[in-house]
A and B are shown apart, each in its own frame.
Chain A
């Protein structure tokens, strides 16, 4: 069996942030597994400049941020194994990995950090299995990684930041017309993202839902949308047909918690954080003493919060393994927690902050 002091699952901002701090604070062998060909997680697909502050490299494009983190981790001696799927977490601190050369390996660890991110939610309606209906993540992967424009006349379902940003990227990639619909009475994402696409001529229709995808030839050719009343019920007679060749779904993300469940971490259901999430303490430690979590899997938020949660878990793991002095670790963790508190302030962050406090409160139950 192969061994590492610290194993991290997922090489997104959370996993890479954790790897960097764990290595920086003295962990001898740090190994990161990611199922993708290259590291960065969601960041690989993100061409736009990021929000946040200087500590989070705001203004830097997402994919560049991923590259920078990767370089930093490698320079600190972290081993990153891409094309490697972790498929099981077992008793006595062991993992099962399916590696790039098609082999199954068993790895042992002293501490495990799970940073597997989140998965897109789907939405069922008549015709939703037709080719041309896809998740915003798939659309983004096709455009920004494989340079394929999956549709020219697009209906985007959902106006959260993901829907707004992917709409913007569709326009940049050459889509002719995009229409955004949102079931809620107001736009979910940030006004600045909405304003960008509004001035590019994209109508954003609140209180609207999709009722049907039409495709007599076996692929999407039309979408039927309908207005919703205050009780979110479709208003008869308000059906409108749109000529589209693609319907893109961006209706939220759910934390990818399967491995955390296998590791026996206790869960809580918190809609404000995306659904079932592993409960954890101020150090990102779960109910299993050797298992830590960070990033979207511990509550769907943003890259900046994922990165800082990862850093926090990295420092905490190094501390638990006896590497940095308690004072040094406390100072670093304090600074990170302050940044996280700041990122979760304001009307967009308040609910997530409350959700996080709820999670941490449950650790002591």
Chain B
């Protein structure tokens, strides 16, 4: 399968995002937090499978096979977000009441934002798409210097918001 935008510009186009293998359904996203794995090339890598304590991600015997998510097993716990060396896993949550949902992503830049701070949210191409409030910043021993940031964004941007502008 071709991932032209990823191969020539460095990011997945909206059409390519819709083609992601094992992309959780919108219904699932609205039930609660779930992982979105944006890793589509046959690279020799598999730590996502071992960091997930719920065995929700599998790769199979061949290390270059693509990771597959079983959305029914995924609790949205977020361990895979910092466990993935490619920083290619995100957590989206469309379950809160109202118009806003939450998206979590790895952010290895200093200074870090703090909870409650208003930040500029960017898409995969690095373009600012909205402002968002930071819900929390997770940085623990387990996350090993890969802080995970959770931000509120409009629900229709949950599948677009993938980072914030560096502070």
Contact = CB atoms under 8 A, between A and B. Distances in A.
Interface stretch (B4-12, B28-36, B68-76, B92-100): B4-12
A196 B12 CA distance: 11
A172 B126 CA distance: 15
A346 B64 contact: yes
A146 interface: no
Contacts of A185: 8
B132 interface: no
Interface residues of B, number: 43
Contact of A200 (B42, B47, B85, B126): B126
A192 B126 CA distance: 14
B124 A194 contact: no
The interface centre, meaning the residue of A59, A204, A344, A345 with most chain B CB atoms within 10 A of its CB, is A59
Contacts of B126: 198-202
The interface centre, meaning the residue of A171, A172, A195, A197 with most chain B CB atoms within 10 A of its CB, is A195
Contacts of B115: none
Given A201-B126, A202-B126, A191 B83 contact: no
B43 A192 contact: yes
Interface residues of A, number: 41
Nearest to A64: B144
Contacts, number: 133
Interface in B112-127: 122-126
Contact of B12 (A58, A180, A195, A204): A195
A192 B7 CA distance: 10
A355 interface: no
Nearest to A201: B126
A193 B43 CA distance: 11
B87 to A, nearest CB: 5
A190 interface: yes
Interface in A31-56: 48-54
A304 interface: yes
A61 interface: yes
B15 interface: no
Contacts of A198: 9-11, 124-126
Secondary structure class of chain B's binding surface, majority of residues: loop
Nearest to A305: B44
Contact of B146 (A49, A187, A346): A49
Given A59-B51, A346-B64, A348-B43, A192 B109 contact: no
A344 B124 CA distance: 29
A191 B41 contact: yes
Contacts of B9: 198, 204, 206
The interface centre, meaning the residue of B50, B83, B108, B109 with most chain A CB atoms within 10 A of its CB, is B108
Nearest to B43: A190
Nearest to A304: B44
A186 interface: yes
Contact of B44 (A54, A187, A191, A348): A348
A194 B165 CA distance: 17
Contacts of B166: 171, 200
Contacts of B78: none
A343 interface: yes
A302 B110 CA distance: 28
A348 B65 CA distance: 12
A231 interface: no
B103 to A, nearest CB: 12
Contacts of A344: 44
A61 B146 CA distance: 11
B7 A196 contact: no
B45 A186 contact: no
B20 to A, nearest CB: 12
Given A59-B83, A61-B144, A346 B44 contact: yes
6 smallest A-B Cβ distances: which pairs?
A: A346-B64, A192-B86, A201-B126, A194-B10, A346-B42, A49-B85
Interface of A: 48-54, 58-59, 61, 171-172, 180, 185-187, 190-202, 204, 206, 302, 304, 342-349
19 contacts: A49-B144, A50-B85, A53-B47, A54-B50, A171-B109, A180-B10, A185-B8, A192-B39, A194-B11, A195-B12, A195-B38, A195-B124, A198-B9, A201-B126, A302-B44, A304-B44, A342-B64, A345-B44, A345-B62
